[in-house]
Structure 1
Amino acid sequence: MRPSTRGRLAAAVLAGLLVLPGCAAPRDAAPSPVGEGAVPPRCGPDGSYTIGMSQANLAESFYRRQDEDVRAAAAEVPQLTVRFADAVEDNSRQVAQIEEFLRQPVDLLIVSPNEPTPLTGIVKKAFDQGVPVIVLGRDVKRDDYTALVAPDDIAIGREAGHFLAGALPDGGPVAELRGLPGSAAARDRAAGLAEALAGTSTRLVAARDADWLRDEARRMTAEILGEHPDLRGLFAHNVEMAEGAHQAAVAAGRADLPIVAVTGLTGESDGVAAVAEGRFAALVYHSTGGREAVETSRRLLVDCQPVPKRQPLPLRLVTPANVTDFIR
């Protein structure tokens, strides 16, 4: 790398680091190795601890809410200070920002990976250096970390399938709009749906990869409805695709088509309003995991307690009957 490029990268890394006031002083001693889920060597209620929060992309509302949840939860624990970094959907920048956290140093890392494979090495490096690492939202390719706080995507697909099967007591054909081909979330949500529909009279007659995109979902749903005009339900792997599916259904005179979506947010623009207004029949909801990641950090750093390696986020089904509970 040329010196000028190196300088620009260093500036970008530093520009992406946001520090909350009152941060803890850096440790003098180098960290010692910490086993998965184990208590770090420096912990206790009388200490002050700095957490490095490495975020994938604050341009997306989900990740903004995730950071907000981390910030709010950490504010309730006086021993904790959080430093935030935004990778702006750039794997190299996220790796560099985590390297900077390790140099500062921090007492614990929370990493919301932009992509699993490019972040696996730096997560392992931090873990091997003895820094507790909480992977948030999506897994990396190795389990060299302290804890994984993330939704169970198989359970998400299963929940959607159970809802569709229950909503269609006489059975019938349903369709699925999947996320990006090859992504773990898309693969696992599809597997959960298939598991839930197995042995029922509700049949999956079409599954298309809409790449998480509204326009692709709209186009593919129009095709599916042309091929299966008797379609009785649809599961979309995210809200954007569900909105596209609804638009296609309305255009085809099928505004009543039951659509199930998935979200990690609550509010007016993330699927909850679509349930309240009748565009979606249901929404499988999980939290951002931000609060849960801070709680795991507190248990490790303040309480000196070991934590479970895998911590699946609880799921709730949002329907017209309970939708007001989810509007913030």
Structure 2
Amino acid sequence: MNRRVALAAIAAVATAFPLAACGQEGSGEAAAPKPTGKPTVCLVMKSLANEYFQQMQKGAVDHVAKLGNVTLDSSGTQNETDVDGQVALVEKCITKQVHAIVLAPADSKALVQSVAKATKAGIKVVNIDVKLDDDALKQAGVDVPFVGPDNREGAKQSGLELAKVLGKGAKVVILEGNPGADNALQRKNGFNDAVTEGGLELLDSKTAHWETDEAHTVFGNMLTAHPDIQGVLASNDSMALGVAKVIEERKANVKVASFDNISAVKPYLQNGVLVSTLDQYGSDQAANGIDYAIKMINGEQVTGWQKTPIKVITKDNVG
């Protein structure tokens, strides 16, 4: 009788141990994704008030519908600077035990710890749109692939279109994106490359955090301080819309180069206020990110930069 009790106790301990090891309190690690026949991919974006990310979401939904073998869980923040909100969205994906997360981070450093937590939980992570900081990833011991465009080269190409129209010596300003985002830095660098190569004179460079209303205020103040501004290099189309409103209100003779190619800027391309924008095919980025996530779920190793295409859009090819 005592021997049977002892064996039962040993069996109970043996059964309980792996459960405790998988879900012990205070470990700081989420449980591994549940194995199912149809994997779930979380797409986490920035502000869904921005038409660019609306396009990205639609592209992802359409792509998953064509694939038919994956479940998509997509979400985005209320505004471009809501880093804490985006961290919470990633945490939700981890809690749901999804198989992969495709992330367009609002901040290149602040999201790295959440990415590290996801990978520790066995979730595959693909970085799209805005590159996560290499040093922060290395420090966290994480290696995730980046699927996205060459933001610096794209901004340079768009900026050079403005230089062609204005000519050497023209006075310009830059409207920057979020200071913590790698694509904001790369686009600023690309615009500076265009300023140098095009022989432009840079009067000022300030952030408007990707937002239309803030760009309206920031550029309005710039134009008051520098009434001789001839051109604006806007790091995304949402900010270009704010600039265009100021130009209309003040009847200013100012031209704009931008980035993203959302439909809302097409009238400004057609009337000549906007000289150029840069199509980085946001909807395809999300689809490509999902494809790479599925490859990783299936055991393929994907690392490094998977570069996506870009195209300068002008009045001649706006379509």
Normalising to structure 2: TM-score of the pair?
0.73
| CA–CA distance in structure 2, aligned partners of residues 221 and 93 of structure 1 | 28
How far does residue 234 in structure 1 lie from its aligned partner after superposition?
1.7
How many angstroms apart in 2 are the aligned matches of 1:101 and 1:215?
A: 31
Name the counterpart of 2:116. Answer: 124
CA contact (8 A) 1:133 1:145 kept: no
| Alignment partner of 1:319 is 2:314 | yes
The verdict on how the C-alpha distance between 1:170 and 1:117 changes in structure 2, with shifts beyond 3 A counting, is closer
The yes-or-no answer on 1:278 pairing with 2:253 is no
Query: 2:34 aligns to what?
Result: 26
Gaps of 5+ in 1: 1-24, 29-46
Residue 176 of structure 2 is matched in structure 1 by 178
Write out aligned runs for 1:67-216 (5 A): 67-86=57-76, 88=78, 91=83, 94-141=86-133, 142-143=136-137, 144-216=142-214
Partners of 2:39 and 2:70 within 8 A in 1: yes
Is the 2:45–2:76 contact (alpha carbons within 8 Å) kept by the matching residues of 1? yes
Q: 1 or 2, which has the higher helix percentage?
A: 2
Residue by residue, what CA displacement relative to the aligned partner does 1:131-172 show, whole Å, maximum 9, x if unpaired?
220122223343324312234332233123322222234442
Query: Which residue number in structure 2 is paired with residue 38 of structure 1?
Result: none
Q: Secondary structure at the match of 1:323?
A: coil
Residue 184 of structure 1 aligns with an amino acid whose one-letter code is D
Q: In the TM superposition, what is the alpha-carbon distance from 1:217 to its structure 2 partner?
A: 3.4
Residue type of the alignment partner of 1:61:
E
Q: Equivalent pairs: percent with the same residue?
A: 21
Separation in 2, partners of 1:88, 1:225: 29
TM-score (norm 1): 0.71
Is 1:109–1:133's contact at 8 Å kept on the other side of the alignment?
A: yes
**What is the aligned-residue RMSD (CA, Å)?**
3.1
What is the letter of the counterpart of residue 109 of structure 1?
Answer: I
What are the Cα deviations for residues 211-253 of structure 1, in whole angstroms up to 9, with x where unaligned? 4344443444445445555443221122233223223333444
* Structure 2 CA distance for partners of 1:229 and 1:54, relative to 1, 3 Å: closer
Q: Is the contact made by 1:233 and 1:258 (CA closer than 8 Å) also made in structure 2?
A: yes
Any unmatched runs of 5+ in structure 2? 1-32
Q: Tell whether the 8 Å contact from 2:108 to 2:180 is kept in structure 1 after alignment.
A: no
Worse-matched range after superposition: 214-223 or 168-177: 214-223
Distance 1:230 1:137, change over 3 A: same
- The structure-2 alpha-carbon separation of the partners of 1:306 and 1:251, relative to structure 1 and needing over 3 Å to count, comes to same
Aligned positions, number? 277
Give the match for residue 260 of structure 1. Answer: 257
